[in-house]
Chains A and B, each alone.
Chain A
Amino acid sequence: MSRSIQKNFRGLRALLIMAPDGGCQTLERTLHKLGLKITVARALPATEGAPVPFDVIFFDADDGADTTLDESAVADLPLIALIGSEAPSRLARVIQHRAASHILKPVRSSGIFTALLLAVNEQAVRIRHKNEVQALSRRLAGRRFVTKAVMQLITGCGLSEEDAYEWLRREAMQRRIPMEEMARHAIGLGPDPAQDAWPQYGRATRPD
């Protein structure tokens, strides 16, 4: 299935970590035309654990400005590298930061929209994948409870394997909780999650 791409960036908050030179001015001018709110700084502002108040970060990969990027603080933000030197040592920094796209220097007005569009959409895919991995890990961790519950239903209630599994699935659906959570309840671990579990589980990533 093809998803529609994000192509309007009005209102996004951009942080430009670079020296306020001519290239920076070209970048600012073009981002302004695209409707972004712009902050220029020489380093990532300290937020003391609070989320970084930006939606996209441009950083100069040549001047070492990127060393101020705290990876945990910017993990979910699209990063765009401004690259002049193509020396592998510099480019290695770009890879480390997992920049989602880049702009070659000297900065021209053309190319900025493309870099922004690629980065924002690439980041959206990465976040989607990250969420899917998290959901899969959670389900994998719960598999042994499902197996255990199915076994108990077979031996304790005389159900077939299919019926035991189907019962668990139906009960979970009725309670609108993950099947793994239902299985934990069925084998006597934890309270009946029917009342309090929802909505802490996202259902969008569950295909069943």
Chain B
Amino acid sequence: MATQPLQQTCCQGLLHFWVLMTQRLELPIGLLISQSGSYEAVSRAIHAGAELAIGEINARPQQPVKLIPVTIDPAGSLAGYVEGARVLLRDHGLKHVVGCYTSSSRKEVLPLFEKADALLWYPSHYEGFETSENVVYSGAAPNQHIVPLTRHLLGQFGTRGWMVGSNYVWAWENNRILREAIAASGGAVLGERYFPVGETDLGDVVRQIVADCPDFVFTTLIGQSGFAFLKMLRAAAEAAGIDQPSDMPVASCSLSEAELPLLGDAASGHLSSSVYFSTIKSDENRQFTALWNERFGQMGQASADAESAYVAVHLLARAAECAGSTGFEAVREAVRDLTFDAPQGQVTVDGDNLHCWMRPRIGRSRSDGSFDILVEHPAALRPDPYLTWAHDARDGDSRDLRLIQ
């Protein structure tokens, strides 16, 4: 790998020369991202993040690559994703698509990408246990979200936890990891309940949680269910005279800036494990958030999902630039070990598993729609989708997380 920067410089140099002599390399890119449906707040942020990067790249005349986007809205339905992928891959003949949010949608379209020799740029954190050669994963892997959060919760708050989630694999797998860590530390799972995606009738479980008074609540409820739960829990705890944010904090691996404006009075005091928060202090992030606020400020502050899509598009453009081609295999090989100075900091695509090296962080939401960053890993962490190399969450004493506040 030591020769790669040199190779990249050479290929970039040649390409620049070629670009000056001819014209920009046109790279058609599909956007298979829901603009409506139960998780639309997050999904719209993903779309906006991709748009931002496309606009940024296309606006620079010296950029050797020009992106031509084709957008399809699957409206949050699995059938919509399959149909959308068919149209993009077969009718448009695209080789690169940024898209999907839930794992079920990704699993559904994956065979189509394998068949078409095309690359899916998947911009969301997920539960891991997949390494497809047809996917570049720019969101966090489980060793970068649930494992550090588990250590933080058990180390800072106690070992009596309540788990509530939307009834699908994201919730089951994260809860499995947390449950095993709680058991290993001699703690107790006071309760574990699942609800259909979109369910908002959560009064019973909220009453039970307040009565049990756990050390922390871990939620994997997504979309509307998540908003309803956080509001109801806050209200029920207040009614019982409990200071919920400090006495039974709610933690998740998905709460983002895109959702805080929808929580009203209950927006502050929640813990979230993420590789990106809008409050990260860096030049790249200042630039990114300024762009975001100007174009998409009405959607709330910039979020991890938006940034992840932004990173995915930039990685794609750079890989195509380096490969001097928009082809599936040329771009995939070029993206291995590629580094990008992202708003969150330096992001590197792992040459082995096509996930990204990133820094885990834990934030606490504020009433102004952003997060205070409480903890961050001192360096980018190698993605470990199968948790092959991660030490069991139990033997972590948060040595590798740096308390910064």
Contact = CB atoms under 8 A, between A and B. Distances in A.
B129 interface: yes
A8 B387 contact: yes
- Which of A10, A29, A33, A35 neighbours the largest number of chain B CB atoms within 10 Å of its CB? A33
A74 B37 CA distance: 53
A157 to B, nearest CB: 50
Contacts of A35: 386, 388-389
Chain B residues touching A, majority SS: loop
Chain A residues touching B, majority SS: loop
B58 to A, nearest CB: 33
A68 interface: no
A203 interface: no
Contacts of B180: 4
B389 A33 contact: no
Interface in A20-68: 26, 29-30, 32-35
Contact of B389 (A4, A10, A108): A10
Given A32-B352, A33-B352, A110-B110, A10 B131 contact: no
Interface string A10-26: 10000000000000001
A30 B114 contact: no
A8 B388 contact: yes
A160 interface: no
Contacts of B387: 7-8
Contacts of A33: 131, 352-353, 385-386, 388
A110 B133 CA distance: 10
Interface string A97-132: 000000000001110010000000000000000000
- Which of B133, B353, B388 neighbours the largest number of chain A CB atoms within 10 Å of its CB? B388
A174 B325 CA distance: 78
B132 A110 contact: yes
Interface in B118-161: 129-133
A34 B388 contact: yes
Chain A interface size, as a band, is 10 to 19
Contacts of A32: 352
Interface in B314-330: none
B120 to A, nearest CB: 13
A109 B130 CA distance: 8
Nearest to B132: A109
A200 to B, nearest CB: 34
Contacts of A8: 386-388
A108 B130 CA distance: 11
B130 A10 contact: no
Interface in B290-320: none
B131 A109 contact: yes
B223 to A, nearest CB: 26
B113 to A, nearest CB: 11
A109 B387 CA distance: 16
Interface in B360-405: 385-389
A10 B389 CA distance: 8
Nearest to A114: B129
A131 to B, nearest CB: 26
A30 B385 CA distance: 12
A27 to B, nearest CB: 12
Contacts of A110: 110, 130, 132
Contacts of B385: 33
Contacts of A34: 386, 388
5 contacts: A4-B180, A8-B386, A35-B388, A108-B114, A109-B131
